[in-house]
Structure 1
């Protein structure tokens, strides 16, 4: 049995998936299996994958397009390893990603979630996220509180994290009834129940401009997460209360920018504003056209290698 199962959800990534697979093949830790879940791609993605198929690399086909959460769930249900990782078909791992996760597993046996830092790739620019890991020294490995340290850009994303199978038994699978912020929805459940071991080293590249990015498109036609159901978690932990206030802020600002004032009012009314900083409070008060202008300015700055946030 392999030590890791690597799951690649695949949908119309013919231009990128070969590089993704090659980044797995270059890993210094090689005890893994790879499950590629084709979610009914309509391009040549499968043709690009087929030369790699073997006992170690397997292709599973969906009979209909079901979305990212369903593709991940299919991979989990077919995984043979106890430790499960994900890599989207347009992202890359550094060569030492699996080795780093393996060390975290050995060094922190009390943990069931294992994550690393990452970098964002914009065209020819590489930006290290300003995720404010206050108290986390560069290149450090330690147990951390997800809810305490995640009040900004995520300290890991779903291409730089590994979960023990036990996490899915306790926290549940990915919610196939939502298709925006499904990672956040799952992370809340997983990190409520289990400890996170974290390496503050960059082990993954997250490509931000390979297709339509949700941050640049409207979410009004998306099925959104219901953060209210996690208020029971927050009643036990103030760090979760603060985290939910932050995620509601992010969602409300996005919705207001997209032009749905009624939905904005509904979500913003549930925010505990005492946990927001002055920049976040100010942004929520601004009209949608100014928020759109700020968004456009941020994208121009990103192309110049500068990234500003309200975090």
Structure 2
């Protein structure tokens, strides 16, 4: 089975260097790598050149069009039976392609996705953000989890599609703001079989500061509303939790005007909730600093997503 790895990149040469280095260590090496430079001002051509003798690698540079259309650009030039998409801030464990090859040999899947994890060598902030993005207390544990309602929706930080899927769907039809969610829904709607390959995980560095994380999750909240323009039924109860949290947190500070007692009850519930997050992170990460930062990351995630959701929802209602 031959894989084509498509990696769009925008001004991240250092990340590409680390990602390509991880690909040289794969125990199954029947794959090509296609780097699509998406209009970067700080390109990674030199970093790619370092691996020309170790990988079957091709480098393309094109005007900026966003990650979705850059992936399509790579798909159009790919030779593999499966097209595998990674984000540039991922590191790939050495067993990844061997795991995927074995799984796809035993299970017929047209598209698959895998979870993401954090390495112990990541910064405490990156580990806290990874905890927040995968925690039962923030996302319901649905990202990369075994148990999920309905068909599995692969996400493009770590996903693979068959060549047939691309030929039938023509790939991404939007390039930013929920492009991977829309693509996954359309893959499923066209009758293709999707699934989670649990052991095909990647190490995802994500953002390096809570400020960057806020911007990313604010965008995710907006993206969910954008997806609803295509698929109105794709706003689920789990997507409303950050909205309720955001509204509740804002209104909590108005409660003293009504009742100090109600404010104290609300503040106690918030403290209890974030206390659970702290203890859960401490148990899983075995690091006090990561546990403290997990509280901040979880608050940032919920509040930013909720604000983005509400802002884009208002634009949709008012047609702006």
Shared fold by TM > 0.5?
Answer: yes
The partner residue of 2:236 within 245, 259, 262 is 245
CA deviation profile, 1:93-132 (whole Å, cap 9, x unmatched): 11111111111211112x2112222214652464562365
CA deviation profile, 1:242-272 (whole Å, cap 9, x unmatched): x53247537x83xxxxxxxxxxxxxxxxxxx
CA deviation profile, 1:205-253 (whole Å, cap 9, x unmatched): 1112258986411549x7762324324xx5xxxxxxxx53247537x83
Q: Which residue of 2 aligns with 1:22?
A: 21
In structure 2, relative to structure 1, the CA distance for the partners of 1:157 and 1:207 (3 Å cut) is farther
In structure 2, relative to structure 1, the CA distance for the partners of 1:198 and 1:44 (3 Å cut) is closer
Q: Which moved more, 1:88-97 or 1:194-203?
A: 194-203
Matched residue of 1:66: which SS?
A: coil
CA contact (8 A) 1:85 1:159 kept: no
CA contact (8 A) 2:10 2:40 kept: yes
Structure 1 residues without counterparts, runs of 5 or longer? 139-143, 235-242, 254-280
CA deviation profile, 1:61-108 (whole Å, cap 9, x unmatched): 10x211111211100111111201012222111111111111121111
Matched residue of 2:197: which SS?
A: strand
CA contact (8 A) 1:118 1:205 kept: yes
Q: Which residue of 2 aligns with 1:68?
A: 67
Matched residue of 2:22: which SS?
A: helix
In structure 2, relative to structure 1, the CA distance for the partners of 1:172 and 1:60 (3 Å cut) is same
Shift of 1:160: 2.5
Matched residue of 1:201: which SS?
A: coil
CA distance in 2, matches of 1:146, 1:172: 27
Shift of 1:286: 4.3
In structure 2, relative to structure 1, the CA distance for the partners of 1:247 and 1:92 (3 Å cut) is same
- What is the RMSD of the two structures over their aligned residues, measured on CA atoms? 3.9
CA distance in 2, matches of 1:77, 1:213: 36
- 2:127 paired with 1:123: no
Q: Which residue of 2 aligns with 1:35?
A: 34
CA contact (8 A) 1:146 1:196 kept: no
Instruction: Choose between structure 1 and 2: higher strand proportion.
Output: 1
The partner residue of 2:289 within 288, 296, 304 is 304
Q: Which residue of 1 aligns with 2:250?
A: 287
Q: Which residue of 2 aligns with 1:197?
A: 195
Structure of higher CA gyration radius: 2
In structure 2, relative to structure 1, the CA distance for the partners of 1:207 and 1:73 (3 Å cut) is same
TM-score, normalised to structure 2, is 0.65
Matched residue of 2:35: which SS?
A: strand
Matched residue of 1:305: which SS?
A: helix
Structure 2 residues without counterparts, runs of 5 or longer? 254-269, 282-287, 303-320
CA distance in 2, matches of 1:57, 1:100: 21
CA contact (8 A) 1:16 1:90 kept: yes
Aligned residue-pair number: 252
CA distance in 2, matches of 1:53, 1:283: 49
Matched residue of 1:209: which SS?
A: coil
CA distance in 2, matches of 1:28, 1:245: 40
Matched residue of 1:35: which SS?
A: strand
Matched residue of 1:16: which SS?
A: helix
Q: Which residue of 2 aligns with 1:112?
A: 110
Matched residue of 2:113: which SS?
A: strand
